[in-house]
Structure 1
Amino acid sequence: MTRGSRLDRLLPKPLSHVAVAEVVELPPVRRRRRRVVAATAVTGAGLLGASLSTPPGSREFYLSTAAVAGVWTAGGLASGPLHLGWIESRDSTLRRPLVTPVATGAAAFGLFYGAALVAQRVPVLGDAVARVLRFADEGDDRLVLATTLANGIGEEVFFRGALYASLGRRHPVATSTAVYTLATATTRNPALVLAASAMGTLFGLQRRASGGLQAPVITHAVWSALMLRFLPPLFRRRATTRLGPGR
């Protein structure tokens, strides 16, 4: 076997791959999971909308975003058993997701960075992105990063964990993405809604391909960290000139 063919066999299966189905849950377990999911979705969406209505860098902002992360995480864990999943190579070898989701998160950031360059030329989207990035510009870097990562992990525990598991075979990728997008719509920010739709689809496909949470969690964390590091400088001038300092 040539070196190229060996490498090809070690590559992960594509996102279109469907992991082996998880153990079918008993009806009482499924009903309990759905009740917890419904309550968490309503509560989390409401808090998410409120969190971005607080002043950037304020105590209220950090407390509210921490509360949102706590609701997503607690609701997801309370709903029932969740699974980390596996990356299956083309030679059927199984391994915990690590390298592949890191690379996926970096690639997703590259695409979003390109999209951000385009968004700068679209007033509605450019202003929407600038409004979100003001929370990074005017806040404590460490606290913003911590709350962003906590929310990213919490969202995956809930949306690609509890919610996805509660759907069974009812189009889980499309449905979980739709609910994720609707929850983000409470922020009334079109840029965030578009990002949730695109990334929610990617995270859902990762969940389906790996059968668990680890891949979307890592991808979400890498993507979020890179967005926080490199996107604010692109929109700093727009936020100052169009929105005005201190607004």
Structure 2
Amino acid sequence: MKKALLAGVTAAGSGLLGASLASRSGSRRFHVLTASVAATWFAGAGRVPRGRRDVAGPVLAGAGAFGAFYGGALVARRIPVLRRAIAGVLGHAHHGSAPSVAATTLVTGAAEEVFFRGALYDAFGARGSTALYVLSTTATRNPALVLASAVMGTLFAVQRGRSGGVQAPLLTHVVWSALMLAFMPRLFPPELDG
């Protein structure tokens, strides 16, 4: 019964995620839908295991993951399908209000961790929760986000297993997302969106 409920939450959140990224950048619809995605993940999370209280390790992991993705982005800019996919996501950063885009990005990232590395991890284990995370991200129809979800979902699941809770993956996710939002748009300016 619990797994069926979690599957329903995953399906609802995934549908909202796909609709949010398909909406016009900076629009009211985009912000309402992304807030709904975060609310869905938070509501489905139930009891959240905190785990060990290490801060430095997860923060450094987030910064290190950003460095790896930044290096990958330097290559991806030269591959048209990846450049378009990344620019499509970053269109929300270019055309939306910076504070609301930042809030949306960070709150949604935190919500993903409490749901996927909380309730889903407890119900389906590391591999299952990561597979569901990647499957959920396919609703965006964006290959760059799907690839990122596979890489980062694996890292987050390892952190959840080692730390015993969601604090480590949550901190890593928020730091990684904040750095991506701060520096990636410069690599993919709006004129490269097409």
TM-score category of the 2 structures, normalised to the smaller one: over 0.9
Equivalent residue for 1:179, pick from 115, 124, 132: 132
Residue 226 of structure 1 is aligned with which of 176, 179, 192? Answer: 179
1:208 to 161, 167, 174: 161
> Unpaired runs of 5+ in structure 2?
none
TM-score by length of 1: 0.77
- What does 1:73-222 align with in structure 2 at a 5 Å threshold? 73-77=42-46, 81-86=47-52, 96-167=53-124, 172-222=125-175
Tell me the amino acid that sits aligned with residue 240 of structure 1. E
**CA pair 71-114 structure 1, distance change in 2 beyond 3 A:** same
Q: Tell me which residue corresponds to 1:240.
A: 191
Inter-partner Cα distance in structure 2 for 1:217 and 1:75:
16
Aligned counterpart for 1:50 among listed residues 6, 19, 29: 19
1:219 to partner: Cα distance: 0.3
- The Cα offsets for residues 151-182 of structure 1, whole Å up to 9 and x where unpaired, read as 10110011000000012xxxx22211111011
Runs of 4 or more consecutive aligned structure 1 residues displaced over 2 Å after TM superposition: none
When the two structures are aligned, how many residues end up with a matched partner? Answer: 194
1:52 match: secondary structure: helix
Aligned equivalent of 1:65, options 11, 34, 45: 34
Judging changes above 3 Å, is the alpha-carbon distance between structure 1 residues 101 and 241 closer, same or farther for their aligned structure 2 residues? closer
For 1:227 and 1:122, the matched residues in 2 are separated by: 19
Identity percentage of aligned residues: 53
Mark the CA change 1:232 to 1:42 in structure 2 (over 3 Å): closer, same or farther.
Answer: same
* Cα RMSD, aligned residues only: 1.0
The two structures have a TM-score, normalised by structure 2, of: 0.97
Helix, strand or coil for the counterpart of 1:231?
helix
Q: Give the C-alpha shift of residue 241 in structure 1.
A: 4.4
Counterpart Cα distance in 2 of 1:36 and 1:179: 14
**Distance in 2, Cα, partners of 1:126 & 1:163:** 32
SS at match of 1:212: coil
Q: Rg larger in 1 or in 2?
A: 1
Distance 1:213 1:242, change over 3 A: closer
Q: 1:241 to 1:154 in 2, by over 3 A?
A: closer
Q: Which has the higher contact order (CA 8 A, sep 6+)?
A: 2
Q: CA deviation at 1:39?
A: 1.4
Alpha-carbon displacement from aligned partner over 1:53-73 (angstroms, at most 9, x marks no partner): 100010101110010010011
